[in-house]
Amino acid sequence: MTQPSPDQPPAVSLRGIVKRFGDVLANDHVDLTVAAGEIHALMGENGAGKSTLMSILYGLLRPDAGTIELAGREVSFDSPARAIAAGVGMVQQGFALFDSMSVVDNVVYGAEPTRRGLLDRRAATAAVRELIERHELRLRPGDRAGDLPVGSRQQVEILKLLYRQARVLVLDEPTAVLTPAEADRLFVVLRELAADGRTVLLVTHKLHEVTAVGEAVTVLRDGRVTMTAPTRGLDQGRLAAAMTGREVDLDRVYPPGRPGAEALTVRNLTVRRGDRRVLDDVSLTVRAGEIVGVAGVAGNGQTELVAAIAGLLPADGTVRLGERDVHALGVRERRAAGLAHVPEDRGEVGAAPTARLADNLAVGFHRRPPLLRRGLLRPEAVRDHAERIVTRFGVRAPGVSAPMRTLSGGNQQKAILGRELAQEAPVLVVEQPTRGVDIGAVVGIHTELVAYRDAGHAILLVSAELSEVLGLSDRVLVMYEGRVVAEFAKDEADAEAIGLAMAGVTAP
Amino acid sequence: MRGLRTTALAVLAAALLGAVLLAATGANPLVAFESIVVGAFGPDGLPDTLAYAVPVAGMATALAIPLRAGLVNLGGEGQLVLGAISAVAVGLQVPGVLGIVAALLAGVLAGALYAAFAAVCETALGVPLLVSTLLLSYPAVSLAAYLVRFPMRDPGSSLPQSEQLPPDVHLPALADTGLTAGLFLVLAAVVVYAVVDARTPAGFEARVTGWGPRFAQYAGIDRPRLTVRLLACSGGLAGLVGAVVVLGFPYRFIDGALITPQYTWIGLLAALLAAASPLGTLLAALFFAALTSGGFALERATQVPRELTAVLQAVLIIFLAAATGLLRGRKGAA
């Protein structure tokens, strides 16, 4: 790693940044200094102000007060385009891709190579292909962005940044959707970029990432900096305490469930995309009182499995809820038959960002009492219903009438999970329940899921977090290239064997 | 509050720009504005404004219904005309009060079925709704034009118009205001839309679909069925508006009489500006009706050419659109 020389001004220097949203002080006089060639982690719970701070640095938001300096020069961005021109690039949590365009088009968009004034497709494809190979990403240059699962879409976002050769790279939870191996590969890339003199700002919730790749860490809580320290010799307990204001037990072990009757039965489920079987002859069973975890690298059919079970994606094979064959039924009928679903994409699928929180939470409850009485929705019942979920699941929101998008990512997730748990459906299918959620909330969500299981419900848990799958599941299935390639009971599941299966290596 | 202020600012800015334009043509802007206001709300103008506002508000609400779910019905004209010609055809056959009811029902049914057909073109055949509604509009208008030129032509006239409906198939007039009981039908439709939108599961699901199609699918909303139903409601109300117009003075279908006043397009504009919210759509429709009505007065009272009044309206509409866009944009940034 390059040693920043004392006379060299810091690559990024934020001083006294203040940003207020209505009554909420999202950033309260935040100072952040990052040397050139440093990988600096930014930690904090949901709503602590990390995303706001990074949005200010990236020109998405304008601070109410404070200054931004890049390499000693004061700058002021009124748009991300200005920030990019000044060498600041950001991968956000939500994706900004053109779904109908190819990976190449998405990456070069806005900075296209040209030849005699015309787009030079060959050069563009070559440049992108080279980047993909150099960084060992699982992407094909010609694939349509909209066809890619979330994990691959995020890789495209990272690729965009690499293509633009930004001097300061901001990554907002880049590893949330990656497997440990992929995350390690990303870290190699980040270290390489840092060694090259670039500056990396890594927004993350994961303690081990901070120590694995970060050289320094800044912790935010309630909009204020509560800790800035080098990561060498860092005490993880102190870090967690700085984030949450309390010590967090990270190694909680949940007792096994007591499986009962079959609640969800999937037989020979197959989804074709063109000639490819993205979901290939998958059979599985989840019993009442049991959590079955699905591990796997993002993009190996988990998304399609969940969509096919939920009825969002046409599939061959059978799906049974309890005794009932729901294969021919649509989404509404499957939900009515006792299926709740937390999708991985909370911005577009799981919620409506522009709509009120209360309306988001009313979905699925709007055709029965107490929200509905004598054919009419009761506004006060809609509000009470939302208040109950907000209170029970500790959703931090300006109010239930606030638009969903005013909540931080983690609080949106809590709201969606709360809504689906409140359905009290016998079967819950949950995808990436804690993606982008802070450590304190992760424990809360895990506790809720286990309690839901112990109340006699069946849970199918799909997660890219191996520790999450291992910690919660009574059985673990591993998916690879659309198939279930391995199954482990709780006591025989270990990270190494699962990791191998995720990579396609299974014992004969 | 901020909405009101921004809207007021937009109107003011448009008025200023309009004043410059008027002054440039040699007219006195103050006199011109006065004639617009007096023309719209003065004792002579108000009845005209209200008579014009009824079909505009009706069409605005009709087009707002699918717009709430993000669906644009561009075929309002066809549904309106089909409703009107069907109402006249039935009204000429069925006598008495029963005739009024039958004519209104025929108008609703014709508009609803025709719009639902356009919806089925999308849900079953994959023709985009924008295209199917707009293109199906032309044959409907042409069919009505043909009918009043040949089979349904008034033999006592050289104009392309139907025979007059018998007196007992006229909608009751409201004193000497020039309005008919159709006003209450349109108002009732607006109230029903407002209640359904805010308080029923069906209205809620339409709004959910408007917020995001993928969210709606996830929530289990059957989009094709919703599309057909919303279009049927939209076309039905458009057909009702057509029936209400022809069951009022001059009690007949005159070719072009429903097209020239631009009920449909001004209605669509109002619905778009108000983001299809029931009350907002009504208010926007009334405002545009007053503006158009005042524009006619301006033409009569001053030497200002007709084209310039159209320009004035356009300026105002653009400023208002910018203001509403600005409001939504600001909310979006938060």
Q: Where are the domains of chain B?
A: 53-275
pLDDT value, residue A501: 78
Cα separation of A227 and A434, whole Å? 24
Angle at Cα A13 formed by Cα A8 and Cα A17, nearest 5°? 165
Please tell me which of the candidates B198, B212, B222 has its beta carbon nearest to residue A348: B212
Per residue of chain B (334 residues), what is the pLDDT tens digit?
466 787 788 888 888 998 898 888 888 888 888 888 888 888 888 888 999 999 999 999 999 999 999 999 999 999 999 999 999 999 999 988 999 999 999 999 999 999 999 999 999 999 999 999 999 999 999 999 999 999 999 998 889 999 999 999 999 988 777 789 999 999 999 999 999 999 999 999 999 999 999 999 999 999 999 999 999 999 999 999 999 999 998 999 999 999 998 999 999 999 988 889 999 999 999 988 988 888 888 887 777 777 777 788 788 888 888 877 665 544 433 2
Please tell me which of the candidates B195, B220, B332 has its beta carbon nearest to residue A332: B220
How far is CA B58 from each of CA A24, A77, A420, rounded to the nearest angstrom?
43, 47, 40
Confidence tier at A347 by pLDDT (50, 70, 90): confident
Q: How far apart are the first and last CA of chain A?
A: 43
Higher pLDDT, A308 or A89: A308
If you average pLDDT over residues A333-357, what whole number do you get?
92
| pLDDT at residue A53 is higher than 50 | yes
| pLDDT at residue A79 is higher than 80 | yes
Closest CA of chain A from B207, distance in Å: 9
Q: A376 contacts in B (CB within 8 Å)?
A: 195, 199-200
Q: Residue B258: enclosing H or E segment and its boundaries?
A: none
Name the closest residue on chain A to residue B212, using Cα atoms. A352
pLDDT value, residue A338: 94
Q: B217 contacts in A (CB within 8 Å)?
A: 312, 331
Q: Residue A87: enclosing H or E segment and its boundaries?
A: none
Quick: pLDDT tens for A444-484.
Answer: 889 899 999 999 999 999 987 777 888 899 999 999 888 99
Tell me, yes or no, if A335 comes closer than 8 A to chain B by beta carbon: yes
Please tell me which of the candidates A61, A352, A376 has its beta carbon nearest to residue B215: A352
**Can you spell out the DSSP letters for B162-210?**
BPPPPGGGSPPEETTTTEETHHHHHHHHHHHHHHHHHHSHHHHHHHHHH
| pLDDT at residue A179 is higher than 70 | no
A330/B218 Cβ within 8 A = no
pLDDT value, residue A403: 93
Residue B191: what are its φ and ψ, rounded to 5°? -65, -45
| pLDDT at residue A508 is higher than 60 | no
A372/B220 Cβ within 8 A = no
Question: In 3D, which of A503, A502, A505 has the Cα closest to residue A478?
Answer: A502
Higher pLDDT, A3 or A204: A204
If you average pLDDT over residues A16-27, what whole number do you get?
85
In this structure, the number of other CB atoms found within 10 A of the CB of residue B269 comes to: 21
pLDDT value, residue A178: 65
pLDDT value, residue A437: 74
Tell me, yes or no, if A366 comes closer than 8 A to chain B by beta carbon: yes
pLDDT value, residue B333: 33
Tell me, yes or no, if B167 comes closer than 8 A to chain A by beta carbon: no
For residue A410 the two structure tokens come to 């983690």
DSSP-derived 3-state class of residue B254: strand
Please tell me which of the candidates B195, B211, B218 has its beta carbon nearest to residue A354: B211
Q: Residue A39: enclosing H or E segment and its boundaries?
A: strand A39-44
A330/B222 Cβ within 8 A = yes
Confidence tier at A46 by pLDDT (50, 70, 90): low
pLDDT value, residue A506: 65
Chains A, B: CB contacts under 8 A, how many?
70
A362/B204 Cβ within 8 A = yes
Please tell me which of the candidates B198, B332, B334 has its beta carbon nearest to residue A21: B334
Can you count the helices (H) and strands (E) in chain A?
16, 24
| pLDDT at residue A185 is higher than 80 | no
Cα separation of B304 and B287, whole Å? 21
Confidence tier at A374 by pLDDT (50, 70, 90): very high
Q: A379 contacts in B (CB within 8 Å)?
A: 198-199
A364/B219 Cβ within 8 A = yes
pLDDT value, residue A211: 82
pLDDT value, residue B330: 43
A354/B205 Cβ within 8 A = no
Closest CA of chain B from A127, distance in Å: 34
Please tell me which of the candidates A334, A353, A377 has its beta carbon nearest to residue B201: A377
pLDDT value, residue B316: 82
Tell me, yes or no, if A341 comes closer than 8 A to chain B by beta carbon: yes
**What percent of chain A lies above the pLDDT cut of 90?**
43
pTM reported for the whole predicted model: 0.74
Whether a cis peptide bond, with omega within 30° of 0, leads into A370 is: yes
- Min mean pLDDT across A66-70, A184-188, A499-503, B202-206 is at A499-503
Q: Return the residue in A56, A333, A367, A405 with the most chain B beta carbons within 10 A, the one to mutate for interface testing.
A: A367
* Residue B282 CA to its chain's centroid (Å): 10
Q: A403 contacts in B (CB within 8 Å)?
A: 331, 334
pLDDT value, residue A67: 93
Question: In 3D, which of A231, A218, A246, A123 has the Cα closest to residue A187?
Answer: A231
Quick: pLDDT tens for A128-161.
Answer: 998 888 766 778 888 998 888 766 777 788 788 8
Q: What is the average pLDDT value for chain A, to the nearest integer?
A: 86
Question: In 3D, which of B79, B243, B103, B249 has the Cα closest to residue B164?
Answer: B249
Name the closest residue on chain B to residue A342, using Cα atoms. B218
* Most confident region among A58-62, A108-112, B311-315 by mean pLDDT: A58-62
Confidence tier at A1 by pLDDT (50, 70, 90): very low
pLDDT value, residue A504: 66
pLDDT value, residue A300: 83
Q: B208 contacts in A (CB within 8 Å)?
A: 352, 355, 359, 363
A377/B215 Cβ within 8 A = no
Higher pLDDT, A345 or A351: A351
Tell me, yes or no, if A363 comes closer than 8 A to chain B by beta carbon: yes
Higher pLDDT, A373 or A3: A373
Q: Return the residue in B2, B199, B200, B204 with the most chain A beta carbons within 10 A, the one to mutate for interface testing.
A: B204
Query: What are the strands of the beta sheet with A39-44, ordered from one edge?
Result: A88-91, A168-172, A199-204, A39-44, A216-221, A224-230
Quick: pLDDT tens for A238-271.
Answer: 777 777 665 444 456 688 888 889 999 999 999 9
How far is CA A323 from each of CA A168, A218, A276, A288, A423, rounded to the nearest angstrom?
56, 53, 31, 13, 20
If you average pLDDT over residues A394-421, what whole number do you get?
90
Name the closest residue on chain A to residue B221, using Cα atoms. A332
Contact of B175 with B169, CB cutoff 8 Å? no
Q: Phi-psi bin for A59: left (phi > 0), alpha (psi -120 to 50), beta?
A: left
Residue A475: what are its φ and ψ, rounded to 5°? -140, 150
Q: B331 contacts in A (CB within 8 Å)?
A: 403
Name the closest residue on chain B to residue A340, using Cα atoms. B219
Tell me, yes or no, if B41 comes closer than 8 A to chain A by beta carbon: no
**Can you spell out the DSSP letters for A444-489?**
HHHHHHHHHHHTT-EEEEE-S-HHHHHHH-SEEEEEETTEEEEEEE
Question: In 3D, which of B118, B117, B83 has the Cα closest to residue B103?
Answer: B83
pLDDT value, residue A505: 67
Cα separation of A279 and A291, whole Å? 21
